[in-house]
Amino acid sequence: VFSHVVQAPEDPILGVTVAYNKDPSPVKLNLGVGAYRTEEGKPLVLNVVRKAEQQLVNDRARVKEYLPIIGLAEFNKLSAKLIFGADSPAIQENRVTTVQCLSGTGSLRVGAEFLAKHYHQRTIYVPLPTWGNHPKVFTLAGLSVKTYRYYDPATRGLNFQGLLEDLGSAPAGAIVLLHACAHNPTGVDPTLQQWEQIRQLMRSKKLLPFFDSAYQGFASGSLDADAQSVRMFVADGGECLAAQSYAKNMGLYGERVGALSIVCKTADVAGKVESQLKLVIRPMYSNPPIHGASIVAAILRDRNLYSEWTIELKAMADRIISMRHQLCDALRARGTPGDWSHIIKQIGMFTFTGLNSKQVTFMTKEYHIYMTSDGRISMAGLSSKTVPHLADAIHAAVTR
């Protein structure tokens, strides 16, 4: 009965790793996947995560019962504080409902399912380009996806005028997906002044902000600085949604731990919204997993663990920034044609190199370097040892 099923293509991002794994070359380099690697090229479990896990193991009173539908209550509270700020009036006024979800992706999906069912506008605007999974998540939830101009290939920076024009002509009430910081794949973020203009425009047009926060702490190394965009929108008293992921900033990728918050106008509305979120979640996966959320809660609740986390997080962010400088210097040293300053200017995990798909194919074939075909490279996958190999490959690709 399944003989008619056709072979589906690999996921464009995860497929890069599949191809990488098949390559026997000893010099191969995987810059496709957005996961942090140490200077030795190894995955990293944060020390603070190991400590929190040890606490959990030692606590004999802990059981493995089901969590409630919306997850671990303490985790939800602490997650809201982390993104909105400990002194956020919206939290103090109980206008925020936060539910534990399956990492960033699950949070986006639950938020989108809720909007498709209970919000009057079904259109969501996503930046062009955006993380490849966004359109799929939103379409499958029943939203209709449109794009707004974001990246300008000529400047390798923000197309701010285009962004304002496109959001300005969006229908009233439309949902707008915003990357809270460290835009994926471009590494280009608006300045705070630009965020303020975006906020004013969106509020005047009654556009609904849906923040995707997958890199809090990873962009600048500061958790507060990386949440500024979100906090500006919450400070004006209006509604918004925020999807949080702990995959990158705590290195909890495979634990699938994240949260969806919906900021409402009143506590009464927030309570009703939460009751409906339960109806979204229950038939999808019933309730979320307990382990990852317990780790996060243990770290966020404890002053010492929290401060240790911020130090480890900053070290990851700093290593990425240092890779940016090393790669840029290596290209300048080779006299590679072009202006490579965008490697330093862009922030977060990725550099949008500006290399085209032909150049990417060449680099994969001749240098065994793997990346997505749009020329996005994960700076976290680089090390001082591998920078020269990458610089050689880029130099060869642009001078052929």
Q: CB under 8 Å, gap of 24 or more: what pairs does 47-55 form? A: 47/308, 47/312, 48/299, 48/305, 48/308, 48/309, 48/312, 49/250, 49/251, 49/252, 49/295, 49/299, 51/305, 51/308, 52/294, 52/295, 52/298, 52/299, 52/305, 53/295, 55/298
Q: Applying CB under 6 A, which of residues 34, 217, 251, 375 lies at the interface with ligand PMP?
A: 34
Could you tell me how many residues of this chain bind ligand PMP (CB under 6 A)? 13
Q: With contacts defined by CB under 6 A, name the span among 72-80, 222-230, 245-253, 316-324 that binds ligand PMP.
A: 245-253
212 binds ligand PMP (CB under 6 A): yes
Judging by beta carbons within 10 Å of its beta carbon (0-12, 13-18, 19+), is residue 19 exposed, middle or buried?
Answer: middle
150 binds ligand PMP (CB under 6 A): no
CB-CB contact of 29 with 389 (8 Å): yes
Question: Is there a catalytic annotation at residue 318?
Answer: no
**Whose Cβ is closer to ligand PMP: residue 211's or residue 340's?**
211
Q: Give how far the C-alpha of residue 38 lies from the chain's centroid of Cα atoms, to the nearest Å.
A: 20
292 binds ligand PMP (CB under 6 A): no
Question: Is there a catalytic annotation at residue 195?
Answer: no
348 binds ligand PMP (CB under 6 A): no
Sorted by sequence, the CB contacts under 8 Å of residue 340 that are 6+ apart come out as: 327, 328, 331, 332
381 binds ligand PMP (CB under 6 A): no
Q: Applying CB under 6 A, which of residues 72, 174, 247, 371 lies at the interface with ligand PMP?
A: 247
Judging by beta carbons within 10 Å of its beta carbon (0-12, 13-18, 19+), is residue 24 exposed, middle or buried?
Answer: exposed
151 binds ligand PMP (CB under 6 A): no
184 binds ligand PMP (CB under 6 A): yes
Q: Kindly give the residue spans of alpha helices, DSSP state H, lying in the chain.
A: 14-22, 47-58, 73-84, 89-92, 103-118, 133-140, 160-168, 192-204, 228-235, 267-285, 291-301, 303-334, 342-345, 357-367, 387-399
Question: Is there a catalytic annotation at residue 392?
Answer: no
Nearest distance from residue 105's CB to ligand PMP, in Å? 3
Q: With contacts defined by CB under 6 A, name the span among 18-26, 102-110, 153-161, 290-298 that binds ligand PMP.
A: 102-110
258 binds ligand PMP (CB under 6 A): yes
Kind and range of the H or E run holding 97: strand 96-101
82 binds ligand PMP (CB under 6 A): no
Q: With contacts defined by CB under 6 A, name the span among 103-111, 288-296, 338-346, 377-385 that binds ligand PMP.
A: 103-111
For residues 216, 218, 222, 224, the Cα torsion angle rounded to the nearest 10 degrees is -10
Q: Which amino acid is at 223?
A: L
30 binds ligand PMP (CB under 6 A): no
190 binds ligand PMP (CB under 6 A): no
**Whose Cβ is closer to ligand PMP: residue 88's or residue 372's?**
372
Of 131, 189, 340, 392, the catalytic one is 131
Q: With contacts defined by CB under 6 A, name the span among 46-54, 99-107, 299-307, 334-342 that binds ligand PMP.
A: 99-107
105 binds ligand PMP (CB under 6 A): yes
245 binds ligand PMP (CB under 6 A): yes
**Whose Cβ is closer to ligand PMP: residue 270's or residue 296's?**
296
The three-state secondary structure class of 101 is strand
CB-CB contact of 246 with 296 (8 Å): yes
Q: Applying CB under 6 A, which of residues 71, 104, 127, 190 lies at the interface with ligand PMP?
A: 104
Of 51, 166, 189, 212, the catalytic one is 212
Q: Which amino acid is at 268?
A: D
The residues annotated as belonging to the active site are 131, 212, 248
Residues near ligand PMP (CB under 6 A): 34, 103-105, 131, 179, 184, 212, 214, 245, 247, 253, 258
